[in-house]
A and B are shown apart, each in its own frame.
Chain A
Amino acid sequence: MAGASMKEIKLRVKSVQSTMQITKAMELVASSKLRRAKENAERCRPFFDILHQTLTDIALTNRDFSSPYLVRRPVQKSCFVVIAGDRGLAGGYNSNVFKLAASQMSGKEAVVLPIGKKAVEYFSRHGFKLLSTQYASVEAIDNADCSEIAQVLTKGYRRGDFDELFVIYTNFVSMLVQDPAAMEILPIHDVRSSQSGQNASGMILYEPSCEAVYNSIVPQYTAGILFCAVAESLASELGARRTAMESASKNAGEMIEDLNLRYNRARQGAITQEITEIVAGAEH
């Protein structure tokens, strides 16, 4: 009886140990990749901020609505670019993104452009209309891919396939904190004037013309925003995975400790029982 349970415990310890090896390895891989991803995301950040700031500044003073990118149409269809991870085992990273996406999409007729394998799987399983499924690897996305996506999206917007464009990604706040966020890319409009009612009187000079400028800028702006969002999301994914794997390894360590204690108790119990049996036999 005691022998069988000792063997069982030993097997449990072994299986927990091999799991711990895997989680440890994943933690190490995530931390080494994280360093590069974090640098990337941080390099992108001033670009992201200034790009966004500039476009909203322009929108604030703009009085020229000859470009379709500046006009808010009645919304019939919305397009969402959702950036999630390629793999699971990253804590709540993927599900947080999908939760935010679901809350943003509720009540809207949505088309989705998923980026990352998990996003592709999730949205095809839930029966969403997908624009494309070819961006199934977040890690492999580069500048050229972003320009390509931006071309497709801006063309779709101009054609009237959808009337607003959002990107849903994860902000890399710190190693431990990652915030999913939704950002409206198109149409470019002033976020502040609707709240404050304060209108700047300035006029903007466009050269050669408002339309030409926006037609040239907007695809590049979209590509830039996407590129930065991907960089932020990738860093967030690795950060989330590292944290998740760290606590998984810690849990495994605790379990092994606990099981070892139980194993030793069972062994001691078996020995004591054996001695009692021998002593009892000798007394007779």
Chain B
Amino acid sequence: MALFHLQIVTADGLFFDDEAESILVRTIDGDVCILARHIDYVTALGMGEARVTAGGTTRRAACMGGMLAVTGGQVRVVASTFEWKEDIDTERALNAQQRARNVLDSAAASDEEKQFAQAALERAEIRLRVAGQK
């Protein structure tokens, strides 16, 4: 299969910098899979699962926010959060999920707090979903 150069980077460092066969990400508009020789392309990332296939194996990750850009055959994913499946802290995600649910259920929380909690809940659920897969 044709390969392309893929870089995945967040503020926590460089997660992937190698030749890859395909990358699938959740954009703000739905899932998108990029293969080699794609035309120049820019999209914003939503919250969801990412799948990177390189050397015949597919790795899964939780990928949230940021952008994906294809420029001259080079693919760059600049994400706010990117965690490989094996790096996800399930316990922390469970705690975050519980905390967010508590805020959403409480009557005292303001709309803004609820908005934050809703986003936190989504993040936690994506992490748990990615980590829970076989």
Determine which of A204, A217, A227 lies in contact with B11 in the assembled complex, contact meaning CB atoms within 8 Å. A227
Q: Which of A180-228 contact B (CB under 8 A)?
A: 202-208, 212-213, 216-217, 220-221, 224, 227-228
Q: A61-B71, A213-B67, A217-B44 are in contact. Are A224 and B11 (CB under 8 A)?
A: yes
Residue A46 lies at the interface, judged by CB distance under 8 Å to chain B? yes
Interface size on B, residues (CB 8 A): 26
Contacting pair B71 A58 (CB below 8 A): yes
**Complex contacts, B80 vs chain A, CB 8 Å:** 220, 224
**Complex contacts, A143 vs chain B, CB 8 Å:** 11
Query: In the complex, how many residue pairs between chain A and chain B have their CB atoms under 8 Å apart?
Result: 85
**Complex contacts, B28 vs chain A, CB 8 Å:** 208, 212, 216
Residue B13 lies at the interface, judged by CB distance under 8 Å to chain A? yes
CA of A39 to CA of B68 in the docked complex: distance in angstroms?
A: 26
CA of A51 to CA of B41 in the docked complex: distance in angstroms?
A: 15
Residue A35 lies at the interface, judged by CB distance under 8 Å to chain B? no
- Chain B window 53-72, contacts with chain A (Cβ cutoff 8 Å), 1 for yes, 0 for no: 00000000000011101011
Residue B33 lies at the interface, judged by CB distance under 8 Å to chain A? no
Determine which of A47, A216, A224 lies in contact with B44 in the assembled complex, contact meaning CB atoms within 8 Å. A216
Closest to A203 in B: B40
Q: Which of B34-90 contact A (CB under 8 A)?
A: 39-44, 65-67, 69, 71-72, 76, 78, 80
CA of A228 to CA of B9 in the docked complex: distance in angstroms?
A: 13
CA of A220 to CA of B65 in the docked complex: distance in angstroms?
A: 8
- Chain A window 46-83, contacts with chain B (Cβ cutoff 8 Å), 1 for yes, 0 for no: 11001101100110010000000000000000000000
Contacting pair A220 B32 (CB below 8 A): no
- Chain B window 1-24, contacts with chain A (Cβ cutoff 8 Å), 1 for yes, 0 for no: 000000101111110000000000
Contacting pair B42 A213 (CB below 8 A): yes
**CB proximity of B79 to chain A, nearest CB, Å:** 9
Contacting pair A202 B40 (CB below 8 A): yes
For the complex with contacts A43-B12, A47-B14, 4 further pairs of A-B residues with Cβ separation under 8 Å are A46-B9, A50-B9, A58-B42, A208-B43
